[in-house]
Amino acid sequence: MDSRMSGEIIIGHALWQVLIHGKTYISQHVGVYGASESGKTTLDKQLTTKGEIRHLGEDDRTHHEKGWLGREKMPEATTKRIKSDGLKSRTLVSRDLGGHAEYHTMWLRDMIQRNVKTVVVVIDNRHLIDNRNTDNQVALGYLVEALSKNTVPKGLSIRARLRAKKYSPSRIILLANKADQWMTDEDFFTWERGLIARHKIFDVFRNDLYRLQNMHIPVHMDATSARYGWNVEGAILKGLNT
């Protein structure tokens, strides 16, 4: 084998590696939404820098100032590189948005403006503690209703408004956060077997999940503890393969 052929083989192998792994460096626009205090900011911090996150109090809640037109100002999107054993690493771009009801339209603006293909909805166990608390259901229900009606929020550019008419995410990842508070040994065994979607924490969302299926939007359900960094990157990476 002459040197010229050897060089061609080396170059060909290098190009093949670029084709295989190059897409892991292509930014994936991800939208992270959910009720206030469900753990979205903690998740954002965990994805940015691994480690145990301190407890976030009321003063740490995410709020947004209004501009001169009376609409909330969008925070800057940030880039994160995530990886997990046995799964290809990915580069994510996301924003830390508030979960209060007045910020729900911001979720839609963010999704459509950035043409978000992966929507992460963060829930916790508050509805298991108090069945009268519907914060989590309202958050997911708002998104499902808006997507079903192709709702066009105010504040979009002309290009984004045109996109909004046919906008639909490619997938939704439903993350049951704060697993350190609600997951039992039996629940962990269920998670290990890949059956966490059957857990009662997801029962109140079944009707909305059926609606998403009818809209041809696949949903990946998983459990995580954003504060302690358990199954954070793994859950999202698995969901990205949905």
Phi and psi, residue 232, nearest 5°: -80, -60
Number of domains comprising the chain = 1
| pLDDT confidence of residue 9 | 54
Give the mean model confidence (pLDDT) for residues 39-63.
92
Structural domain harbouring 163: 25-240
- The β-bridge relationship of strands 219-223 and 27-34 is unpaired
Q: What is the pLDDT of residue 87?
A: 85
pLDDT band, very low/low/confident/very high, at 101 (cuts 50, 70, 90): very high
Contact 80, 89 (CB under 8 A): no
Greater confidence (129 vs 58) lies with: 129
Report if residue 4 sits inside a domain. no
> What residues are paired with 94 via a beta bridge?
78
pLDDT at site 184: 98
Q: How confident is the model at residue 148 (pLDDT cuts 50, 70, 90)?
A: very high
Q: How confident is the model at residue 193 (pLDDT cuts 50, 70, 90)?
A: very high
User: Looking at the domain assignment, is residue 7 inside a domain?
Assistant: no
pLDDT band at 18 (very low <50, low <70, confident <90, very high): very low
Q: What is the mean pLDDT of residues 30-35?
A: 98
- The CATH number for 141's domain is 3.40.50.300
Predicted local distance difference test score (pLDDT) of residue 16 = 43
Is 5 domain-assigned? no
Residue 91 falls inside a structural domain: yes
Is the residue at 180 inside a domain? yes
**12, part of any domain:** no
Query: What average pLDDT score do residues 184-207 get?
Result: 98
Asked whether residue 170 is assigned to any structural domain, the reply reads yes
Is the pLDDT score of 4 beyond 80?
A: no
In angstroms, rounded to a whole number, what is the distance separating the alpha carbons of residues 18 and 159?
Answer: 33
Q: The whole model's pTM is what?
A: 0.87
